[in-house]
């Protein structure tokens, strides 16, 4: 299989030599806000870019963003159980906490959960678009952005005037409902949304029959005000409240999850206020922003709290965008203060603690245009952290539009990931003790790609990537002093490389086909990294009928063989186990019965595939749902 990247490279070269040329799988003139510090055309970014729109969400009737990400090149999704269970996302072989997630510009990775984003808490009802930039982005966005950035942009009053709502029910007594919309005038708008999801769930463990239920509610409100031709204000708040049961691991008999009455009750809050100064004709535009995030997670056993963790993060930012002819220079100053709290019963050690850390960053990001068809990005960032040495990261990105159908891309950059509070200070009696002497992880990455179009109906995107990680943190190191696990920096280099292929084909006005495939080779000291499938991909076919009043979408996602780790009861050592490959097929159908009313049905895991993405944790079987959506704005 090592010849596969060579095969894809040969395919890319043959595409390059074909007459007619291609374009990006995204419109080249599409403006994105994640590829640089200032809005930029997707065609001017040297990194691989994917944008998921509101239509993509509707066509697949996805209720969680993680369901959509399975169809994005380079992404691997792991569920530790059924609906509402812990969900991890890895990009190009990265760790789950090496992917930065922004929600309306607010850093959403949670310090209380090891800097991982809580994907199982991200519903789609009030999301307008999702911007994904793969590859090293630390020079632009700081820590956590080693594998890439996922930016969630919620709906505003401009996106949805009036209101719409849907109600859906189905398997496992699942009930899901939403109301969202907005209103406004010429110089202002307000958008809001609310979504509620609950399910009786099914059994997570391989044995037993206890169902693990979950429920989640999400509320958001944002406002935009154009106070004058030179002053714009944006603000927003978002709150998530979630509860999910799961099966704890039986460490004494099987080493596997077993029926038990344990659960997690979580709350997350996001807030942001931003002011922009400058008219469209101003040579320099100024931006001031305040962003806030907090989380609170309570661990319950038999309905009683036994431990908890919490975090908060306050970010202050200033940025100046300076126009220099056809070029743009962004200079930014950011200050971030982060707190972490852990509470629990005092046993063989005291887990109760409060920790804090702050960082001040200086960023320079230059959007250059060497010619009409050749653009480049140069980024430099210095992070002055209260607990670590200063860290300097950089990025150079190149995009060459050879003609109106062919774009070549190249990107090289360094990245960094600061150790998490849990890795440094976490304490879990009888299991884990933190290591305060950890160093930040550092990476060097590069990727090259080509975007081309065949005729007027086929779009192809090919990318090759390589990344080396130094000082990678292993959170499962045995400490001979405490006889517990701890975290430590590895002395070897982690290597990640692979290839991505994405294609879309508008076969006719009614029928379209999308596919993607990713080959990933991720290893540490010659051994494959865990939970990274070497092969992954998806195929999605959509058919519209009766002048687009109806649509049927069939999506098949493939997860390749991957390795995981199993900890049998003491004194047996840990074991590396293999999780088998699988296909997941989802089918959705929707029909506009009137200008204001839509009916829809969907089937998940249509083939009732029995599979595991984390060893010992069962996943959801075949499930059916039906619902109605009403648009009140007509």
For 4-154+166-631, CATH gives: 2.40.170.20
Instruction: Compute the CA torsion angle 65, 120, 609, 583 (nearest 10 deg).
Output: 40
* Residues with pLDDT less than 70, the chain: 1-29, 159-160, 633-634
pLDDT at position 429 is 80
| C-alpha span between 435 and 390 (Å, rounded) | 20
**Is it true that the peptide bond before 301 is cis, omega within 30 degrees of 0?**
no
Cα atoms found within 13 Å of the Cα of residue 431, Cβ hemisphere only: 12
Instruction: Judge contact between 306 and 297, C-beta under 8 A.
Output: no
pLDDT at position 29 is 62
Q: Give me the residue label for tokens 């595409």.
A: 15
Instruction: Compute the CA torsion angle 469, 473, 474, 478 (nearest 10 deg).
Output: 140
Name the phi and psi angles at 425, rounded to 5: -130, -10
Please write the tens of the pLDDT for every residue from 172-205. Answer: 999 999 999 888 888 999 999 999 999 998 899 9
| C-alpha span between 168 and 178 (Å, rounded) | 9
Radius of gyration from C-alpha coordinates of the chain:
24
Instruction: Compute the CA torsion angle 194, 195, 198, 203 (nearest 10 deg).
Output: -130
Residue ranges per structural domain of the chain: 4-154+166-631
Q: Which residues of 99-116 are buried (b: 16+ CB within 10 A; e: fewer)?
A: bbbbbbbbbbbbbbbbbb
Instruction: Judge contact between 180 and 161, C-beta under 8 A.
Output: no
- For the chain, how long is the longest CA-to-CA vector? 71
| C-alpha span between 295 and 221 (Å, rounded) | 18
The CB-based long-range contact list for 298-304 (8 Å cut-off, 24+ gap) reads: 298/264, 298/265, 298/266, 299/262, 299/263, 299/264, 300/262, 300/263, 300/264, 300/265, 301/260, 301/261, 301/262, 302/261, 303/261
DSSP structure string for 407-450: EEEEEEEEEEEPPPHHHHH-EETTTEE--TT---EEEEEEEEEE
| C-alpha span between 110 and 8 (Å, rounded) | 36
Interstrand relation of 99-103 and 148-154 (parallel, antiparallel or unpaired)? parallel
Element (H, E) at 16: helix 4-17
Name the phi and psi angles at 21, rounded to 5: 60, 180
Q: Give me the residue label for tokens 């648009």.
A: 631
User: What is the CB neighbour count within 10 angstroms for residue 569?
Assistant: 12
**Is it true that the peptide bond before 61 is cis, omega within 30 degrees of 0?**
no
pLDDT at position 509 is 92
Name the phi and psi angles at 82, rounded to 5: -100, -165
Interstrand relation of 535-545 and 511-524 (parallel, antiparallel or unpaired)? antiparallel
- Among the listed residues 174, 165, 169, 170, the one whose alpha carbon sits nearest the alpha carbon of residue 198: 174
pLDDT at position 256 is 93
How far is residue 574 CA from its own chain's centroid? 30
pLDDT at position 497 is 97
pLDDT at position 8 is 41
| C-alpha span between 44 and 565 (Å, rounded) | 42
End-to-end CA distance of the chain: 54
- Among the listed residues 164, 235, 151, 150, the one whose alpha carbon sits nearest the alpha carbon of residue 193: 164
- The DSSP secondary-structure symbol of 405 reads T
Q: Which residues contact 269 (CB under 8 A, 6 or more apart)?
A: 237, 238, 239, 240, 292, 293, 294, 295
DSSP structure string for 463-492: EEEEEEEESPEEEEEEETTTTEEEEEE-SS
pLDDT at position 479 is 83
**Can you read off the two tokens belonging to residue 237?**
């708040």
| C-alpha span between 349 and 367 (Å, rounded) | 52
Three-state DSSP at 252 gives: coil
Cα atoms found within 13 Å of the Cα of residue 167, Cβ hemisphere only: 1
Beta strands in 38-125, from DSSP E residues, in sequence order: 40-41, 49-53, 75-79, 87-91, 99-103, 106-107
Instruction: Judge contact between 396 and 378, C-beta under 8 A.
Output: yes
- Among the listed residues 224, 234, 218, the one whose alpha carbon sits nearest the alpha carbon of residue 158: 224
Q: How far is CA 403 from CA 25, 43, 452, 460, in A?
A: 15, 12, 10, 15
| C-alpha span between 269 and 576 (Å, rounded) | 38
Instruction: Confirm whether pTM is higher than 0.75.
Output: yes
**Can you read off the two tokens belonging to residue 595?**
């200008």
- Among the listed residues 129, 130, 126, 241, the one whose alpha carbon sits nearest the alpha carbon of residue 191: 126
pLDDT at position 228 is 94
């Amino acid at each position: 299989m090592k010849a596969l990247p060579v095969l894809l490279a040969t395919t890319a070269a043959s595409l390059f030599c074909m007459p007619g040329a291609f374009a990006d799988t995204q419109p080249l003139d599409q403006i994105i806000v994640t590829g640089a510090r200032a809005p930029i055309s997707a065609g001017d970014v040297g990194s691989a870019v994917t944008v998921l729109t509101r239509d993509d969400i509707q066509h697949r009737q996805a209720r969680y963003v993680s369901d959509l990400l399975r169809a994005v090149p380079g992404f691997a999704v792991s569920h530790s159980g059924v609906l509402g269970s812990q969900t991890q996302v890895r990009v190009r072989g990265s760790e789950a906490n090496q992917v930065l997630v922004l929600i309306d510009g607010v850093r959403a990775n949670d310090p209380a959960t090891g800097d991982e984003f809580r994907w199982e808490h991200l519903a789609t009802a009030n999301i307008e678009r999702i911007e994904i930039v793969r590859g090293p982005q630390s020079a632009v966005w700081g820590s956590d952005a080693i594998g890439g950035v996922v930016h969630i942009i919620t709906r505003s009053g401009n996106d949805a005037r009036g209101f719409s709502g849907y109600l859906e029910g189905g398997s496992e007594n699942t009930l899901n409902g939403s109301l969202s919309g907005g209103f406004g005038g010429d110089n202002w708008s307000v958008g809001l949304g609310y979504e509620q999801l609950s399910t009786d769930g099914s059994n997570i463990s391989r044995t037993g029959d206890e169902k693990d239920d979950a429920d989640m509610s999400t509320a958001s409100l944002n406002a935009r005000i154009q106070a004058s031709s030179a002053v714009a204000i944006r603000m927003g708040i978002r709150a998530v409240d979630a509860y999910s049961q799961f099966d704890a691991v039986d460490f004494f008999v099987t080493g596997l999850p077993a029926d038990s009455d344990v659960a997690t009750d979580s709350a997350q809050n996001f807030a942001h206020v931003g002011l922009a100064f400058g008219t469209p004709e101003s040579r320099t535009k100024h931006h001031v922003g305040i962003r806030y995030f907090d989380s609170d997670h309570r661990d319950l056993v038999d309905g009683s709290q036994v431990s908890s963790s919490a975090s908060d993060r306050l970010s202050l930012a200033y940025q100046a965008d300076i126009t220099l002819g056809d070029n743009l220079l962004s200079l930014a100053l950011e200050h971030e203060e982060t707190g972490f709290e852990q509470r629990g019963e005092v046993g063989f050690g005291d887990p109760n603690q409060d920790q804090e850390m702050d960082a001040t960053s200086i960023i320079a990001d230059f959007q250059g245009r060497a010619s009409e068809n050749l653009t480049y990005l140069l980024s430099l960032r210095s992070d002055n952290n209260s607990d670590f040495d200063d860290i300097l990261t950089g990025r150079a990105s190149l995009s060459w539009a050879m003609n109106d159908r062919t774009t070549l891309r190249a990107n090289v950059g360094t990245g960094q990931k600061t150790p998490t509070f849990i890795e440094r200070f976490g304490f879990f009696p009888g299991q884990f003790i933190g290591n305060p002497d950890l160093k930040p992880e550092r990476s060097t990455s590069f990727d090259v790609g080509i975007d081309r179009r065949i005729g007027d109906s086929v779009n192809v995107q090919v990318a090759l990537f390589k990344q080396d990680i130094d000082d990678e943190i292993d959170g499962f190191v045995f400490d001979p002093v405490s006889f517990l696990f701890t975290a430590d920096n590895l002395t070897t280099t982690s290597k990640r490389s692979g290839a991505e292929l994405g294609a879309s084909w508008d076969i006719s006005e009614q029928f379209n086909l999308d596919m993607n495939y990713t080959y990933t080779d991720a290893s540490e000291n010659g051994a494959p990294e865990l939970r990274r499938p070497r092969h992954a991909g998806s195929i999605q076919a959509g058919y519209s009928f009766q002048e687009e009043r109806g649509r049927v979408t069939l999506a098949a996602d493939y997860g390749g063989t991957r390795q995981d780790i199993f900890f049998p009861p003491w004194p047996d050592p840990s074991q590396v186990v293999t999780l088998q490959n699988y296909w997941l097929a989802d089918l959705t159908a929707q029909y506009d019965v009137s200008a204001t009313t839509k009916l829809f049905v969907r089937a998940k895991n249509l083939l009732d595939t029995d599979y595991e993405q984390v060893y010992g944790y069962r996943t959801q079987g075949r499930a059916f749902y039906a619902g109605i959506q009403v648009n009140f704005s007509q």
